[in-house]
Amino acid sequence: MDTENPILTFLNGHASARQFTDQTINEDDERTIVTTAQRSPTSSNVQAYSIISVRDRLKKARLAELCGNQAHVASCPLFLVFCADLYRLSRLNETRGYDFYGEYTEPFIIATVDCALAAGRALQAAQALGMGGVMVGGIRNNPQEIADLLELPDLVYAVMGMSLGYPGRQPAIKPRLPRAALHFHETYDVSSIDTAVAEYDETIDEVGYLRGREVEPERYPDFNGLYSWSEHTARRMASTRKGTLRPHLLSFLQKRGLLKK
Ligand SMILES: Cc1cc2nc3c(=O)[nH]c(=O)nc-3n(C[C@H](O)[C@H](O)[C@H](O)COP(=O)(O)O)c2cc1C
């Protein structure tokens, strides 16, 4: 890595922050975060997402509950909700009397990817301004209640939230998978995965951030191996609990007019 490059140094310093001081975020900085997010690439420039700022204390408290009782959602000075949005585009077609195929998988992917790219850039913009934050997928735990609370029209759903504020203390940087696990040349290389994952399990075990965070231990009474990233992640992928794989999402999205075809 080029450690001389200040932008790369900044990007590689990312760590999610979940604890904030009482310092508020001023409206100029809020606008800068949103306009910087808008500079993200977007599929065919359709810009199929919307961002809702929430500062109201009671609303943030309710959002915190709906996101699985995540305290930082209530305590952050600014909570952003990133929505995949095909509603705005549907209006263009409606006023012209054209068909609109918002129920197809492709526009769903377009809107969700656009939204995620904008969210990533928003977090970086906030960090560049000295803030910290964390994305909140917990917003998909109770998607209908979220849609009602934020008065989302059909063809819009909340992909993720983002708690933002000034971090009380600098969060630790979490190691990532060895590059060999996910970076291949010319073709996908299945053979390099297991070794790289085993190496990562050792690293994560040393860091210790998964200790005490076992997923559904009651389901795995006979497990006596190393509880590290691969065991944790495998259990998450085997869980249909509301806060994990969120099995309620398909019917919710279809009710919104999305992902039917
Ligand atoms: C789409 C998305 C949703 C996330 N949802 C949550 C969440 O609901 N609660 C939380 O504490 N962290 C959440 N995170 C943060 C991840 O847990 C975090 O990015 C990951 O553990 C890596 O840590 P780091 O960002 O500090 O490097 C989310 C991250 C992403 C990208």
Domain ranges of the chain: 6-171, 179-237
Query: Residue 57: what pLDDT?
Result: 98
Query: Residue 242: what pLDDT?
Result: 77
pTM above 0.85, yes or no: yes
* CA of residue 96 to ligand 1 center, whole Å: 41
For residue 243, what pLDDT band results from cuts at 50, 70 and 90? confident
Mean pLDDT of the residues in the chain: 96
Does the structure show a pLDDT above 70 at 74?
yes
Query: Residue 2: what pLDDT?
Result: 59
Measured from CB, residues less than 6 Å from any atom of ligand 1 are: 14-16, 18, 70, 134-138, 160, 174
CA-wise closest residue to 240 among 207, 203, 215: 215
Angle, alpha carbons 230-73-240 (nearest 5°): 40
CA distance 58 to 73: 11
Runs of H (alpha helix) within the chain: 6-11, 27-38, 57-66, 71-75, 87-96, 105-128, 143-149, 193-207, 229-237, 249-255
For residue 52, what pLDDT band results from cuts at 50, 70 and 90? very high
Tabulate helix, strand, coil % of the chain (nearest 5). 45, 10, 40
Q: Which of 12, 16, 67, 69 to mutate to test the pocket of ligand 1 (most atoms within 8 A of CB)?
A: 16
Helix axes 193-207, 229-237, angle to 10 degrees: 110
Each residue's pLDDT tens digit, 164-206:
999 988 999 999 999 999 999 999 999 999 999 999 999 999 9
Q: What are phi and psi of 188, to 5 degrees?
A: -65, 135
For residue 132, what pLDDT band results from cuts at 50, 70 and 90? very high
CA-wise closest residue to 138 among 54, 70, 229, 235: 70
- String of b and e for 198-215 (b: at least 16 CB within 10 Å)? eebbeebeeeeebeeeeb
Q: What are phi and psi of 149, to 5 degrees?
A: -60, -40
Percent of the chain clearing pLDDT 70 (strictly above): 99
**Beta pairing, strands 132-136 & 78-85:** unpaired
Q: What are phi and psi of 83, to 5 degrees?
A: -115, 135
Q: 3-state DSSP call for residue 127?
A: helix
Q: Which fold has domain 6-171?
A: NADH Oxidase (3.40.109)
Token duo for residue 85:
């949005």
What is the arithmetic mean of pLDDT over 18-35? 98
Size of the chain in residues: 261
Query: Residue 240: what pLDDT?
Result: 80
Locate tokens 């808008």: which residue? Answer: 38
CA distance 257 to 261: 10
In this structure, the residue with its CA closest to atom 9 of ligand 1 is 136
* CA of residue 122 to ligand 1 center, whole Å: 14
* CA of residue 134 to ligand 1 center, whole Å: 6
* CA of residue 136 to ligand 1 center, whole Å: 6
Work out which ligand 1 atom sits closest to the CA atom of 16.
26
Does the structure show a pLDDT above 70 at 77?
yes
What is the arithmetic mean of pLDDT over 3-15? 94
Query: Residue 1: what pLDDT?
Result: 63
What is the arithmetic mean of pLDDT over 145-163? 98
What is the arithmetic mean of pLDDT over 100-123? 98
Query: Residue 241: what pLDDT?
Result: 81
Work out which ligand 1 atom sits closest to the CA atom of 159.
1
